[in-house]
Structure 1
Amino acid sequence: MNISEIMIPTIHSISSDKSVSHAARLMSQYQMDSLVVIDHGELVGLVTSRDVLTAHPNRIVADAMCNQMHYLLADQNIWEAHHYFLNENVKLAIVLDEEQVSGMITKETVEMKIAEYKDPLSGLYRAPYIQFIGESYLRKQIPFHLLFIDLNDFGRINKQYGHPFGDDVIRTYSAVLSSIAEDQGDHLCRYAGDEFVLISTAPIALIEQYIDLISRPTNVLDITVSAAVGHVNGCEDPDFFKRSWRELIAQASLESSAIKAQKTASALPS
């Protein structure tokens, strides 16, 4: 989803020589928390409700406004906006479309939309989030490790203990994975059903520890749970950046499936 789909398309403006009290009246009239400041057709700043509250009403807008503007592009997606607001620690940005002001977007609006992409059961982001991270890293040519994590015998757990218990397993196992993926360069999502995906820029030694911990049988709610982990190492694959996200996630998924098949075959009587 692009910013243009959730931005505030109507922008109300004021000139910098108007009073702060006039800015407050306009905000109340338009039911807006901010006004762009335009002088002689040029965008020179932004005045917010917080600026108005902290400035004397007889002062002019030029004294209260912020002249450090933040911009996003209309065709950027909400994940890019989310990361921008987090990194810049700002609450509002002007939206440009072909170098023209087309609206504004708030951090609150973006966070509300991002929340729709969170899985309510696990509390983790869903597949669109990890796809954004992966495609962003590929575009910037940042090498990363891609782990596709598939729980073993989850269908049996549902059949033996019931789906509500299976939900409890997913919820608890998600917390276990989150505790493992604590590094700043780690991104985790619930991909689908009993499948999870982890993107990490950690050193290979730490990745190997991750895989060992995740693959090892773990006691979850008094039953033993393990997972098959497919691993694509972008730090060692010379063709890594020639491949699409779809190709990489397919490889990791197939590797995970092969490990599960091998485990099943080894458990069969000879």
Structure 2
Amino acid sequence: MKTVRDVMTADVVWVSPSARVKTAVILMKQNKIAALPVVDNNGHAIGLVTQDRILGEPEDTIIANIMQRDFAIISPTASVREASEEMTRSAASHLLVMEDDRLVGIVSRSDLLPELGKNFDPLTGLPWSNALREWAMNALKSGNEIAIIFFDLDNYGKFNKRYGHVVGDSVIKEVAGAIKKGIDPDRELACRYAGDEFAIVSLRQADDARALAEELKFAIAASDRRRSRRCDCYLRHFGRT
């Protein structure tokens, strides 16, 4: 997966804290951007101003009076996925990219989406199956045994046709949430394998992996008893290479 450095805007357009809203508006329009880092005379990033922040403000308002001071930051070496998670955690539309206390870039959610779409399912936030294959191969090459658990929702196609895609999508998200909550990220990886199929690759021994599968089947069913949700699961165990 690409890093923040690969997708960020490195040629940063910024504004001084003593500048006026009028200046920020001009810079945003000229450069077709929605956010400006606020940089002081020492070259330090001290704030962030966005289109939403200046909307409705008088043109002569000083930027320092309206800028966001608790802005979110990210390292250029962080993955695109980590940047997305930081945006969600901090409810930020933009992240300032900092390296050795220096502003080296800015990244927006729209910068991340093309890369996230290739590697992660936007509906559930889970990676696609290519991530599972890569994780499994690396584990086997390291001499580990792995177990792969497949989950298939019963009659999801009929359910989706009857209740519609909005309700169907909510079911997929709930199932993904139950799976993510039930796994140990240090020992396994979950992915969306296909439309109504999920898979987990785990470092657990076969018996422990089987117990995990049963726990997750129960969790999936319990996530919405009104719909009597059920799923089938299959387990395959692979020895050392």
- Using the size of structure 2 for normalisation, the TM-score is 0.62
Q: Could you say what the CA RMSD is over the residues aligned between the two structures, in angstroms?
A: 4.4
Query: Counterpart of 2:61?
Result: 59
Q: Does 1:7 align with 2:8?
A: yes
The answer to whether the Cα contact below 8 Å between 2:147 and 2:238 also exists between their aligned partners in 1 is no
1:53, 1:175 → 2: CA distance? Answer: 34
Query: Counterpart of 1:16?
Result: 17
> Alpha carbons of 1:205 and 1:151: their partners in 2 closer, same or farther (altered >3 Å)?
closer
> Alpha carbons of 1:109 and 1:129: their partners in 2 closer, same or farther (altered >3 Å)?
farther
Match of 2:87 among 85, 88, 94: 85
The answer to whether the Cα contact below 8 Å between 1:72 and 1:95 also exists between their aligned partners in 2 is yes
Structure 1 unaligned blocks of 5 or more: 135-145, 153-167, 215-224, 231-252, 256-270
The answer to whether the Cα contact below 8 Å between 2:80 and 2:112 also exists between their aligned partners in 1 is yes
1:49, 1:40 → 2: CA distance? Answer: 23
Query: Counterpart of 2:238?
Result: 254
Q: Does 1:185 align with 2:181?
A: yes
What is the correspondence of 1:100-179 to structure 2 with a 5 Å cutoff? Answer: 100-118=102-120, 125-127=127-129, 148-150=148-150
The answer to whether the Cα contact below 8 Å between 1:191 and 1:197 also exists between their aligned partners in 2 is no
Q: How many Å apart are 1:149 and its aligned residue?
A: 2.2
Q: How many Å apart are 1:2 and its aligned residue?
A: 0.7
Q: How many Å apart are 1:107 and its aligned residue?
A: 2.3
1:151, 1:133 → 2: CA distance? Answer: 18
Q: Deviations over 1:185-223 (max 9, x none)?
A: 247413589872267xxxx97753335899xxxxxxxxx
1:175, 1:55 → 2: CA distance? Answer: 39
What is the correspondence of 1:20-39 to structure 2 with a 5 Å cutoff? Answer: 20-39=21-40
1:70, 1:180 → 2: CA distance? Answer: 30
Q: Does 1:197 align with 2:203?
A: no
Q: Secondary structure at the match of 1:75?
A: coil
- Using the size of structure 1 for normalisation, the TM-score is 0.56
The answer to whether the Cα contact below 8 Å between 1:20 and 1:64 also exists between their aligned partners in 2 is no
Q: How many Å apart are 1:38 and its aligned residue?
A: 1.5
Match of 1:228 among 201, 214, 234: 234
Q: Of the two, which has the highest radius of gyration?
A: 1
Q: Secondary structure at the match of 2:119?
A: coil
- The share of aligned pairs that are identical, in percent, is 20
Q: How many Å apart are 1:151 and its aligned residue?
A: 7.6
Q: How many Å apart are 1:63 and its aligned residue?
A: 1.4
1:197 maps to a residue whose letter is I
Q: Secondary structure at the match of 1:23?
A: helix
Q: How many Å apart are 1:30 and its aligned residue?
A: 1.8
2:58 maps to a residue whose letter is H
Q: How many Å apart are 1:131 and its aligned residue?
A: 8.6
> Alpha carbons of 1:182 and 1:76: their partners in 2 closer, same or farther (altered >3 Å)?
closer
Structure 2 unaligned blocks of 5 or more: 137-145, 162-168, 184-189, 203-209, 221-230
